[in-house]
Amino acid sequence: MKIELKKIHVNEQFSQETTMFQAGIYVNGVFIGHARNDGMGGPTMCRPYPAQVELFKEAQAYCLSLPPKQYDWGSLKSDMEGVVDDLLTEYLEKKDKKKFERDMKKGIEGLH
């Protein structure tokens, strides 16, 4: 099962303890629901699209079947919230890397 986030909107300016964002959750290319976090330290909320409730439930079950996420301090059971948070982190890291590479290129070109 391929779970993706699309139509990601992040508001870093108003993020406090967690990243404020909204995104669409897709499974194998099918829109199944919405994910959002208010950026105030609370959990990421995942809600099904009414026409895809069954596929949303299947995705939740799939996420629960994944191995626990390992950290230096221990592990956490996998769930949809965690999978979505990991996908968002991956998206933000890629975005930051692209910005860094673009800025480095501008800096190098400015030396010539």
- Phi, psi angle pair for 3, to nearest 5°: -105, 130
The pTM is what? 0.85
DSSP string, 20-68: -EEEEEEETTEEEEEEEE-SSS-PPEEEE-GGGHHHHHHHHHHHHHSPP
The reported pLDDT for the residue numbered 105 is 79
The yes-or-no verdict on residue 110 having pLDDT over 80 is: no
13 pLDDT band (50/70/90 cuts)? confident
The reported pLDDT for the residue numbered 108 is 74
Q: What is the percent of the chain with per-residue pLDDT over 90, rounded to a whole number? A: 71
Cβ neighbours of 66 (radius 10 Å): 13
Averaged pLDDT, 79-84: 96
Task: Name the β-bridge partners of 36.
Answer: 22, 45
The reported pLDDT for the residue numbered 14 is 84
The yes-or-no verdict on residue 41 having pLDDT over 70 is: yes
Q: What is the percent of the chain with per-residue pLDDT over 70, rounded to a whole number? A: 97
Task: Name the β-bridge partners of 21.
Answer: 10, 37
112 pLDDT band (50/70/90 cuts)? low
**74 Rama class: left (phi>0) / alpha (psi -120 to 50) / beta:** left
